[in-house]
Structure 1
Amino acid sequence: MKRVLEGIFKISVSGSDDWKKFDIPGSAMQSFVVSGDIPNPYIGVNEYKVRDFLDNDFVVRGVFVVEDDVLKKKKKELILKSIDTVCDVYLNGQKIRHCENAHIKYRIDVSDILKAQNELEFRFFSATRLVNSVKPGADREITMINTGTMANSQYIRKSHSSFGWDWGPQLPDCGIYEPMEIIAYDEVRLDDVWVRQDHNLGEGVVGLKVFSQGIGIVEADIKTEVFDPAGDKIYEGEFFREIEIYNPEYWWPAGYGDQPLYTVKVTATSRTTGESDELSTRVGLRTLTVSRNKDEWGKEFAFTVNGHKIFAMGADYIPDNCFYGLIDDETLERDIRAAKFANFNCLRVWGGGFYPRDKFYDLCDEAGIILWQDFMFACNVYDLESSLEGGEKFRDLIKAEIRYVTKRIRNHACLGLLCGNNEMEVAWLEWEITKHHSDTLRKDYLEQFEELIPDLCKRYAPDTFYVPSSPSKGGGFDDPDNENDGDSHYWKVWHGMKPFRDYENHYFRFLSEFGFQSFPSMKTIAEFIEKEDDLRIDSEIMESHQKNPSANEKILAYLKECFNEPGNFEELVLDSQIMQGIAMKTAVDHMRRNRGRCMGSLYWQFNDDWPVASWSSIDYYGRYKALHYMARKFYAPIAPSIVIKDKKVEFWVSNESPQRITTLCSFRLKTMDFKTEFEERQEIFVPRFAAVKVFEHDFTELFENNSELNPDNVFVEMSFNDYNEWATFVPIKDLKIETPILKVEFEKGQKTTWISSPTFVPYVFLEGREEDIIFKDNFFAITSAEPVVAGEME
């Protein structure tokens, strides 16, 4: 039997009798902010006060009651998950566990200690003090400190980004982030169910091989049941045999088909006492791997589902909050709704944060979101022989972690790839802050990511593709930045200040990280500023909520290339968001036009962990930036795009859908007041899962023969069915556009708005004055006299 531990808990600074209420899930920072003892670190520059407060040790103490039916069982276990991080655990005055890995589950035998009335205590030790007290062995000194982070985070198994990043604050909190449980039994306890699939039995049949792990089971009958996606039982029988599923319903990523999920239930029953236990898991029937076949350009990197190579479209996911206990089901559901809204079929769980809770993986199964799962190692140098005071060796800690994580997530249909780390292979070769470290630590890298972790993955998740690092072509420090082999990260646009069109000079096989910054919405900025004078990008507060050095200056420099000087701070914020969207659209359109050579686009980043200027497309409060609305279009299964080279224009259609496109398409050149100066109507044909240049035209002669037409007073567009795409020959700032006169119409009580203008408007932004509204379309253009319909999402 299982019971969620319900009790009344409190927290204090170690050595203090000043106790505060402690919620589970919850943390030290959360508790003392709620009590008013420390300020909200998200407001103003409070982060730095709170950071210093977190140097303390803390004690969490609580009482709970256990019912008689639990106490009568022979075996009682306390289950702890997401304990962040280093603490000693006491039950009724007895030390029962030393914890030092926030990424694993602890199962603690409390059979001889548990009673009706219980006191449970956690003595948390300061993470900063512990990591700063590590004394490295000979030839093992680590000096690397990544941008925005605190020193020595590599020594502790908690979220690296809690020590800061170039988008997040330095708040190394401690706490308990998932409910605690008591499990009680006499003889029978199931601990794990693993389902492997056999897709080699012939057409129309899939085999399931079910494995389970039990605890304390001596003699038991084990039964397996399988339920189809509708909930009907389709199999019941012996455990030790392969189950054949006829006429299977296959799981597909979003946009490629449905996401039916089967349920497999295993029941173990004692032959002597009749005691039983059961565990269930959901599976999607599919094959899912990464193709690394050689081709004319090098070696591809393509997710392959049920034998079909797909173009991955999505972004990189980070923790949703620095208060990890507040990342609840509602937040995770919000995230996956946002991913579906923007037509994602993939998310990369980045390796510097936390492994998401089970709910996240369930939601991705249901939504058809393939997960690229990094293990939680990023932008660091690790010492396998290191240990914290009184703790285990780092090598042993990560063995337990990889074993637990792979077993926890391996059944999920969404799991597409396991990756050893973020950017560490390339760092050893290219980063000045990394490559000078010793050969001893370099060998540790190879042992950790090319021996230890892949061996554990092969044992516990052999059906999931593994890559040692991102970017990488397979490891061994063999040219991980090679654009023709493996995945790539590209940052010369943004960090290198290259223009957006530079993306078109590269032909990545799979671009798993690239990005461009913007400010969050004015509503979000209003949440953290303290006075109106803070509404300057050089104010102390705005600079504190920008963790990437010189980033605000980069935004201003790029803005000068795109737009006229903003008239006020709000215009600056909106312009930065539009510019971010343009940058990402330029990159993604180019990659999709080269489908086959490139097979994936994951922009940095999807979300934020606090209110900040960053690369995200949805901000901390879940508000959609311009990029997220634009992604809805450039990641749509059918996406038109236009390439202008001087006065020559190419019109493209990318079709990532299972239906071919045969339709009439119009290609036009219009003036700013919508007069059509050129039009061609043609039937276009675009095969399924392909990108085609459907039309091209050189407008040089048109401009030469008509003195009233110039590149700065016209735009081109293509339209077919419900799709419309436009482009200009010059940057927006150089267009001769009159100030638009917008006509806005709506019906009271309706959620539809009609917006029109007598002249071209490149971007129209809609926002609810008080409530947050997600529109079906936003930051859209007006390219004709016909009203644009802007409806709200349900």
Structure 2
Amino acid sequence: MERQELKEGWKLRYYDKELKTQVPFSLYYDLLNHEEIDDPFYRDNESEAFPLSKEDYTYVLNFDTSHKIINCKRIWLRFDGIDTLADIYLNDAFLGETFNMHRVWEFPVEKYLKERGNELRVYFHSPVRYMEEQIRIHGAIPCNTDTLDGFPYLRKSSCMSGWDWGPKLPDMGIFRKVELLGADKARIQDVHIRQQHVDRKVRLAFQVKALTFGADENWTYRVVITTPEGNSFTAAPSPGEVEIANPRLWWPRGYGEQNLYGIRVELICGGQLQDIWERRIGLRTMHVKREKDPWGESFAHEVNGVPIFAMGADYIPEDSLLPRVKEAKTRELLTQCALANYNTIRVWGGAYYPDDCFYDICDELGLLVWQDFMFACATYLLTDAFEENISHEIEENVRRIRHHACLGIWCGNNEMESFLVEGFGETPRLRGDYTRMYSYIIPKIVEREDPDTCYWPSSPSSGGDFDDPQDENRGDAHYWEVWHGFKPFPEYRKHKFRYASEFGFESLPSFKTIETFTLPVDRNVFSYVMEKHQRSNNGYAKMMVYMAQYFLYPKDLPSLIYASQLMQGQAMRYAVEHWRRYRGQCMGAIVWQLNDCWPVASWSSIDYFGRWKALHYFEKRFFAPVMISCCEEGLLTQDPNPNARMYEVEKSIRLNVANETREAQKVTVLWSLRDNCSNIIGREQQEELIVPLLAVYGWIRHSFLMQD
């Protein structure tokens, strides 16, 4: 397979100008770089930038074709990522249209391509006008967040239409590679590798599909495998199966090494090498354990037979302007997750499927991936055209991602099952379409393309079909009574979810981050500009309600920022330490959210510029593989003297040591009790041997007087 990347030399035709750019590019990104617009993240510039997305735009590339490509019998123009509605022309010939940013688009071009002087023209249509037109035709589809109406009609990153942490900037452009592909006799269509683990051996079964161009072309393939140590060996042509003895297994972070094997599949046709498929895989078993137990039904990732307590956060787009998302930036963000002792990342369903490098890095770092399909917080009208469109999308992305060692689960959508159960926007048609999509169409594709990975219909869910998706004793849960429900932090301790896949608490970003989008006059949380960078309904008011419970009123904005971040960290500590104390009953704590896509007050632990909030430091401790926590308990009784204003407290604390490793840990537990002047009232020390994958409890009681 010959390849020619079409990266440089693109131009945006903007009124009477031609603005130079290169792939990846987008409308807002290019206009900002050429100083045609002000920074849409600054103050309230988002409102001024938004109307640009109501227009159509043309991008043009003039190029020559490489000698190797032009002499191929078959040639395709391939877009790995195009956002979203576009007509494609090559040398004035209409090749076709694109209408889904989550798909790869290919067009045969050998009839139109010239060796010299080609013009590739991409005419982008307004996503906003398209959504408005669909609403006029079909009516509005309810959504449970502050977004543009109509986003469920368009297979585009939903959060570009706004979210309770993101701006309304529905961009358009090319965000991944554009290439010419050339072949003479055959090309690889698909490679699927399945693993069978038996008696310290792993048998790799290869299913290779190829497309041939001649009626009599016979093809075969050979496999080259590179071990984690760098040694390579070649299997016979068309091996079907390859056996690896004494395999070096892949483990999630904290449980073992992240060993990866290189796989190279070489397609041979007519005695000549025609195409190559290369990936890295991890040898491991990966399941979601669901079994009846004393608390209901378990729900836990199980890797190589070991149940994993999932610890991490929910991942959203790293930037509202996709050309800014680079591999180095993604690696830095995920490295910060590893430094805070994450072992899991949930890819949230209102965004887009991350680049290949995201999963490569998760493989290397040992971060399990909970992968939502890209449906969130709405319902979708299932027409024949929509079904065909999403079927291609699901198939392509499952095939692209399935070989990664990090992939732990496929999930149908974010919050849509609970959305319908709560009665929001429900009609008989939309309820029926939901069932058809998430109980039949999508799971059938997953079963065909990746039968070895668990499919889960929604998050939260107890298993689908509207069967009490928030049941605490089954499946996964989203819990928002703390924050949205104004409940105090100890409320978390009333719940022992089997797997908490979303819960969070807001805070302000750092003062340096706030300075990037404000003037001094704006730096009051109730100013117009600060409110524009707060998308949660009554977010600052909620923050102040909690502030009154835990702190004195901050004297200035920097103090308020610091206090808000401490509150966020403490809230998440209450939740995660509690659920880790009940390991076995609860097997996952995934904080909402990891990151931001622009500078904003949000639930993130790392702000838009990569600055750690206090929460990320807290996470480093409460996600530590070996972690101690304390839960206070006791009864408060008033002194018999009503004027004494003293209370006798029969107080107990529960110390817990959690060992989320595969080895026994000998630890020394030290504790002390201090009064409000830090004087030591009592202290103890004891040695404990903490067995692997267990939480150990101890009780310490102490009575003392406390003044009102």
TM-score normalised per structure 1? 0.85
5 Å-filtered alignment, 1:138-149, equals: 141-149=139-147
Q: Deviation string for 1:370-429 (max 9, x for gaps)?
A: 10000000001101128xxxxxx1111101100100000010000000000000001001
Aligned partners of 1:23 and 1:31 also within 8 Å: no
1:198 is aligned, of 175, 196, 199, to: 196
Question: Structure 2: which amino acid aligns with 1:441?
Answer: L
Change (3 A) 1:385 1:682: same
- Match of 1:346? 344
Q: Which residue of 2 aligns with 1:105?
A: 104
Partner of 1:215: 211
Structure 2 counterpart of 1:8: 9
Q: Distance in 1 between matches of 2:500 and 2:652?
A: 28
Contact 1:655 1:686 in 2 (8 A): yes
Does the 8 Å CA contact 1:221/1:271 hold for their aligned counterparts? Answer: no
Alpha-carbon offset, residue 711 of structure 1: 7.1
CA gap of 1:143–1:453, structure 2 versus 1, over 3 A, is: closer
Q: Which of 397, 407, 420 is the aligned partner of 1:405? A: 397
The residue aligned with 1:127 is 127
Contact 2:183 2:274 in 1 (8 A): no
Give how far 1:221 is off.
3.2
AA partner of residue 683 (structure 1):
E
Could you say if the C-alpha distance between residues 628 and 135 of structure 1 is closer, same or farther in structure 2, counting changes exceeding 3 Å? Answer: closer
Whether the 8 Å CA contact 1:193–1:280 is kept in 2: the answer is no
**For structure 2, which runs of at least 5 residues remain unmatched after alignment?**
635-650
Secondary structure, aligned partner of 1:59: strand
Is the 8 Å Cα contact of residues 220 and 268 (structure 2) preserved in structure 1? yes
Deviation at 1:48, TM superposition (A): 0.5
* Residues in 1 aligned to 2:399 and 2:700: alpha-carbon distance in whole angstroms: 56
CA contact (8 A) 2:266 2:273 kept: no
Which of 273, 278, 290 is residue 292 of structure 1 equivalent to? Answer: 290
| SS state at 2:352 partner | coil
Equivalent residue for 1:471, pick from 460, 479, 488:
460
Aligned positions of 1:673-712 closer than 5 A: 674-694=678-698, 696-700=699-703, 703-704=704-705, 710=706
Alpha-carbon offset, residue 141 of structure 1: 4.0
Q: State the partner residue of 2:600.
A: 612
Unpaired runs of 5+ in structure 1?
387-392, 705-709, 713-794
Aligned: 1:444 with 2:448: no
Contact 2:135 2:150 survives alignment (8 Å): no
Q: Give 1:693 shift.
A: 1.3
Aligned-partner Cα distance in 2 for 1:384–1:615: 33
**2:228 corresponds to 1:229:** yes
Q: C-alpha distance in 1, partners of 2:444/2:302?
A: 23
Q: Is the 8 A contact 1:7 1:64 kept in 2?
A: no
Asked if structure 2 preserves the Cα contact closer than 8 Å seen for 1:333 and 1:363, the reply is: yes
Match of 1:744 in 2: none
1:520 aligns with 2:538: no
Aligned counterpart for 1:453 among listed residues 421, 424, 442: 442
Tell me the equivalent position of 2:263.
Answer: 264
Partner of 1:51 in structure 2? 50
Contact 2:372/2:410 (CA < 8 Å) preserved in 1? yes
1:326 maps to: 324
Q: Which amino acid aligns with 1:4?
A: E
* Structure-2 residue corresponding to 1:632: 620
- Aligned equivalents of 2:209 and 2:594: distance in 1? 37
Describe how 1:26-37 pairs up with structure 2 within 5 A.
26-37=25-36
- Aligned partners of 1:231, 1:583: CA distance in 2, in Å? 46
Taking the aligned partners of 1:403 and 1:221, their CA distance within structure 2 comes to 24
Runs of 4+ in 1 over 4 A off after TM superposition: 671-674
Counterpart CA distance in 1 for 2:191 and 2:261 is 14
Distance 1:163 1:568 in 2: 34
CA distance in 2, matches of 1:264, 1:142: 47
CA–CA distance in structure 1, aligned partners of residues 353 and 606 of structure 2: 20
Instruction: Give the CA deviation at 1:5.
Output: 1.6
Amino acid at match of 1:21: K
Q: How does 1:733-752 map to 2 (within 5 A)?
A: none
1:477-535 C-alpha deviation (Å, 9 max, x unpaired): 11111010100000000000000000000010000000000000001001100x21211
Structure 2 match to 1:651: 655
Moved more, 122-131 or 663-672: 663-672
Counterpart CA distance in 2 for 1:299 and 1:234 is: 44
2: CA distance between counterparts of 1:440 and 1:148? 23
The TM-score, its normalising length taken from structure 2, stands at 0.95
Q: Does 1:539 align with 2:535?
A: no
Matched, 1:572 2:560: yes
* Alpha carbons 1:489, 1:513 under 8 Å: kept: yes
Partner residue in 1 for 2:543: 555
Cα deviation per residue 1:213-265 (whole Å; 9 max; x = unaligned)?
22226212311121111221144213243111000000000000001111111
Structure 1 Cα separation of the partners of residues 690 and 590 of structure 2: 24
| Equivalent position amino acid for 1:573 in 2 | I
State the distance in 2 between where 1:294 and 1:142 align.
42
Residue identity in the other structure for 2:663: Q
Residue by residue, what CA displacement relative to the aligned partner does 1:735-758 show, whole Å, maximum 9, x if unpaired? xxxxxxxxxxxxxxxxxxxxxxxx
In 2, distance between residues paired with 1:369 and 1:149?
Answer: 31
For residues 615 and 358 of structure 1, do their structure 2 counterparts lie closer, same or farther at Cα, with a shift above 3 Å needed? same
Amino acid at match of 2:533: H
Evaluate the alpha carbon distance shift between residue 36 and residue 664 of structure 1 in structure 2; reply closer, same or farther with a 3 A threshold: closer
Q: Does the 8 Å CA contact 1:7/1:63 hold for their aligned counterparts?
A: no
Compared CA separation, residues 661 and 269, structure 1 to 2 (3 A): closer
> 1:754 is matched with which residue?
none
* Deviations 1:722-742 (CA, angstroms, capped at 9, x unpaired): xxxxxxxxxxxxxxxxxxxxx
Q: What does 1:312-323 align with in structure 2 at a 5 Å threshold?
A: 312-323=310-321
Code of the aligned partner of 1:398: I
Distance 1:275 1:660, change over 3 A: closer
CA distance in 1, matches of 2:192, 2:299: 28
- Structure 1 Cα separation of the partners of residues 621 and 462 of structure 2: 31
Shift of 1:674: 4.7
1:748 is aligned to: none
Cα deviations across residues 349-387 of structure 1 (Å, max 9, x unaligned)? 00000100000010001111110000000001101128x
Look up the match of 2:664: 660
User: How far apart, CA to CA, are the structure 2 residues paired with 1:68 and 1:684?
Assistant: 71
Instruction: Give the deviation of 1:192 after TM superposition.
Output: 2.6
| 259-268 or 374-383, larger mean C-alpha shift | 259-268
Higher mean alpha-carbon deviation, 179-188 vs 39-48, is at 179-188
State the alpha-carbon separation in 1 of the partners of residues 325 and 445 from structure 2: 29
